[in-house]
Amino acid sequence: MSAEILLEVEDLWVTYWSRSLFGLDRKPFHAVKGASLTIRRGETLGLVGESGSGKSSIANAVLGLVPAGSGAIRFGGTDLTSMGTRYSPDIRSQIQAVFQDPYSSLNPSMTVEDLVTEPLRVHTKMDRSERRARAAELLKLVSLSEEHLGRHPHQFSGGQRQRIAIASALALEPKLIVLDEPVSALDVSTQNQIINLLYERRDAMGVAYLLIAHDLALVHHISDRIAVMYLGHVVEEGPSDRVYHSPAHPYTRALLDAVPLLDPEAQRQRRAARKAAPAHETPRVSATACPYKNRCPHAMPRCHAEMPPSYPVDGGGTAACFLLDETTSSKASPALDGAAQ
């Protein structure tokens, strides 16, 4: 029997508002447009999609770092959307995060001991020596040692810094860790080591992951399920093996065919250009066409006129593509045969 649902994101919209020079003319930009996702206890959901598709916006909404414009985010049955960006300490302790850049996400003036024990200081009544003992234990879990406690982040490699970030995220034994591209900044062999570490910790501690990455092949190894985003929409979702070996949406197929392209410079520039996003009610706008229609080799007139609903896919999960509508096309399967090996 499947485990209980831990995180439920339902029809989530995340909107950023741009401001003109004098702040009069405000324009909404919808980064997430009605996305739905589910993570069960102890499960890993891989969230993939090209740069700018809205992955971090979903992650940040789940973490309460950006407001949900509309829709619902439920965690263990608690409605997080009603808390806005002010989660209760209990929820904060149960949802932890590890971000992409191990060079900027760790405060350089803090020691490893401070970094790893920070969540314990905020959320528990442990005294300093108890926290120190726990930090030493946590460092062992991520293959670092007690001797590292007094050092500062700049004395470590990128991979080691991610280990420190993971140790800190594990400190409170959270139920969910949001991992936003935890290995993108690392070289390939270090990536594998960190993925293996995450794998091992998950199995030992029963923690669930929302794992964001560009590389579907990498996500496939560790995820139970995979969700694929395109322009703010979840276009496909399903069991990891099914999505990887038999993708149903043409965009997932394109992602698998392409060598994952991460242009760090373009990503940096776009992120630098962003402005702070104040909380505002998001107007609900229904899409009137498939978001992938202009790039899709199978686009039909219908794809320009209607937003495809999510259709069930053989082998599990769903895909939002009219090729799966039996009344539209009998060519759906042959067109998408021969998926990634």
Ligand X SMILES: Nc1ncnc2c1ncn2[C@@H]1O[C@H](COP(=O)(O)OP(=O)(O)OP(=O)(O)O)[C@@H](O)[C@H]1O
Vertex 65: Cα angle to 61 and 69 (nearest 5): 45
- Assess 162 for contact with Mg ion (CB under 5 A): no
| Residue 204, both tokens | 């030992």
Identify the bridge partners of residue 38 per DSSP, sorted by sequence position.
8
Pick what 53 binds: ligand X, Mg ion, none; C-beta below 5 to 8 Å, kind-dependent.
ligand X
Question: Which residues lie near ligand X (CB under 6 A)?
Answer: 16, 29, 31, 49, 51-57, 267, 270, 274-275, 277
**What's the chain's Rg over C-alpha atoms?**
21
Instruction: Please state the closest distance from residue 200 (CB atom) to ligand X, in A.
Output: 26
Whether 208 and 287 have beta carbons less than 8 Å apart is answered as no
Pick what 54 binds: ligand X, Mg ion, none; C-beta below 5 to 8 Å, kind-dependent.
ligand X
Instruction: Please state the closest distance from residue 44 (CB atom) to Mg ion, in A.
Output: 18
Instruction: Please state the closest distance from residue 231 (CB atom) to ligand X, in A.
Output: 9
C-alpha distance from residue 327 to each of 246, 250, 259, 336 (Å): 21, 18, 34, 17
| Residue 256, both tokens | 């698998």
| Residue 227, both tokens | 């969700």
Instruction: Please state the closest distance from residue 89 (CB atom) to Mg ion, in A.
Output: 27
Count Cβ atoms below 10 Å from residue 218 Cβ, excluding itself: 20
- Assess 56 for contact with Mg ion (CB under 5 A): yes
DSSP helix/strand/coil, 265: helix
Whether 75 and 94 have beta carbons less than 8 Å apart is answered as yes
Nearer to ligand X, 30 or 201 (CB): 30
42: left (phi over 0), alpha (psi -120 to 50) or beta: left
Instruction: Please state the closest distance from residue 53 (CB atom) to Mg ion, in A.
Output: 9
Nearer to Mg ion, 266 or 305 (CB): 266
Pick what 270 binds: Mg ion, ligand X, none; C-beta below 5 to 8 Å, kind-dependent.
ligand X
What does residue 14 show for φ and ψ, rounded to 5 degrees?
A: -125, 125
Give the integer Cα–Cα distance in Å for 336 and 279: 41
Nearer to Mg ion, 176 or 248 (CB): 176
Pick what 16 binds: Mg ion, ligand X, none; C-beta below 5 to 8 Å, kind-dependent.
ligand X
Give the HSE-up count for residue 186: Cα atoms under 13 Å, Cβ half-sphere: 23
Pick what 31 binds: ligand X, Mg ion, none; C-beta below 5 to 8 Å, kind-dependent.
ligand X
Nearer to Mg ion, 56 or 93 (CB): 56
Nearer to ligand X, 94 or 184 (CB): 184
Instruction: Please state the closest distance from residue 198 (CB atom) to Mg ion, in A.
Output: 18
Nearer to ligand X, 48 or 139 (CB): 48
| Binding piece for Mg ion, criterion CB under 5 A, among 10-18, 50-58, 241-249, 294-302 | 50-58
Instruction: Please state the closest distance from residue 114 (CB atom) to ligand X, in A.
Output: 28
Binding positions for Mg ion, rule: CB under 5 A: 56
